[in-house]
Amino acid sequence: MGSSMIKNDDYGEIITRIKQIKSLFAFGEGILPFLEELFVFLREVSPLLNDVSESIMNTTGLMPDAASELDTAVAETTDATYQIMNRVEQIMSHVDTLEMGQNPEDMESAMMLGEIRNDAIAIMTALQFHDIVSQKLVHVRKVMAEIQIKMLQLFTRVYELHIEDEIKENILATFGVNIEKFHNMMEKKINVDTRMTADSPAPATATKSNKNEETPPSAFNQNDIDDLFG
Amino acid sequence: MSDLFILIVDDSPTMRRIIKNTLERLGHRESVEAGNGKEALQQLEEHPINFIITDWNMPEMNGLEFVTELRTTPEYEKIPVLMITTRGMKDDVLQAVQAGVNNYVVKPFTPETLEQKMNKLLA
């Protein structure tokens, strides 16, 4: 019966185990509300986090498309502006020709030609808006390129951290980074910054310098400027 | 017919064309163009320029740098400079004045404004 006999030591062991279980339950009681809150938090916040992560992924993924669309918009409006300018210059040239061969006594025609000329000049000056809008688009384009570069720098920095791969991958996955592709990219030792810059060249007009339009201390209108110059 | 030989400095070909056309309509047919301050300095060496219209924001050498350079060169220091730019902040205007700009127009401008400013500088 030795095998069925329970030794004192065994009792002690059992009691210890029971105490441990009891204390675990006691701990469980204390931690349960916290765990419940955690579950609620995870249940409610996780989808939001997923959305944010997806949003970041989508946003960064869409950036090259958006940048390319901005480039196209600038190029197309430039072409359109040039076409309008060509036509306006033709109109002005016709007006010049008509004025030269005009009867000096025909005041009505002279007035009409003058009006056409003024309208043509008004169209020409209105085309300044193309340049102004283009500059703003180019600025937006540069900001987008900067954000892309910063995001990739962040991903690269995380990737190069001396931490466990799993943690690293979890962080990158939070930003919607395709770990496998990113790993391959890093393995090939591609300089992501250079690559991003090379992949997203700024349009020719993007070379404008000092286009930063940060919050101004005070804006001047033309009247203020006129006052200043007397 | 105007006796002005005008230098138009702007990196936007659209703007240069608009300014050139407007100037022609105002009777100023003699003009040359430059895409930035550096090109403008070259044009100054090659042509008898006596009036300058310049943008501020340009690559390589911007309008402010160009005017500063201009004002330190005895040959060019007295040439009237009209700045036409999108920058309309008080500090911008004051900076331009300090650099040596004689008058300042915020884009978009009208032919009337351009004419009025030029007449003022040439009076």
* Nearest-CA distance B73 → chain A (Å): 23
Is the minimum CB–CB distance between A117 and chain B shorter than 8 Å? yes
Query: Domain ranges in chain B?
Result: 6-115
Chain A partners within 8 Å of B92 (Cβ): 220
d(CA B53, CA A107): 36
Question: Which of B21, B62, B105 lies nearest to residue A209, judging by beta carbons?
Answer: B62
Of B14, B57, B106, Cβ closest to residue A78: B14
The pLDDT of residue A2: 43
- Chain B interface mutation, best of A210, A213, A218, highest count of B Cβ atoms under 10 Å: A210
Q: Does A92 touch chain B (CB under 8 A)?
A: yes
Contact residues, chain A, for B97 at CB < 8 Å: 228
Chain A residues in contact with B88 (beta carbon < 8 A): 219-222, 225
Q: Cβ–Cβ of A208/B107 closer than 8 Å?
A: no
Secondary element (H or E) of residue A152: helix A128-159
| pLDDT score recorded for residue B120 | 93
Res A5: pLDDT: 47
Spatial distance between the Cα atoms of A155 and A57, rounded to a whole number of angstroms? 12
Residue A147: the pLDDT is: 78
Q: Is A220 on the interface with B (CB under 8 A)?
A: yes
Q: Is A228 on the interface with B (CB under 8 A)?
A: yes
pLDDT tens for chain A, residues 1 to 230: 444 444 556 556 655 665 555 555 555 555 455 455 555 555 555 555 555 555 555 555 666 677 777 788 888 888 888 899 999 999 988 988 998 888 888 889 889 998 998 899 889 888 898 888 888 888 887 887 777 777 777 877 887 778 888 887 888 777 777 777 777 777 665 454 454 455 554 444 434 444 444 444 556 666 766 665 65
Tell whether A99 lies on the interface with B, counting CB pairs under 8 A.
no
Q: Which residues of B touch A133 (CB under 8 A)?
A: none
Check A210 against B56: CB less than 8 A apart: yes
Please tell me the predicted confidence (pLDDT) of residue B85.
93
**CA distances from residue A147 to A9, A56, A189, B81, B102 in whole angstroms, order as listed:** 68, 12, 22, 38, 39
Whole-number pLDDT of residue A143: 81
Length of chain B: 123
- Are residues A130 and B14, on separate chains, in Cβ contact within 8 Å? yes
| Residue numbers of chain B with a pLDDT score lower than 50 | none
pTM: 0.64
Shortest CA distance to A144 belongs to which of A210, A75, A206?
A206
Q: Please state the CATH superfamily assignment of the domain spanning residues B6-115 in this structure.
A: Response regulator (3.40.50.2300)
Which helix (H) or strand (E) segment holds residue A37: the answer is helix A8-100
Distance from CA of B110 to the nearest CA of A (A): 7
How far apart are the CA of A219 and the nearest CA of chain B, in angstroms? 4
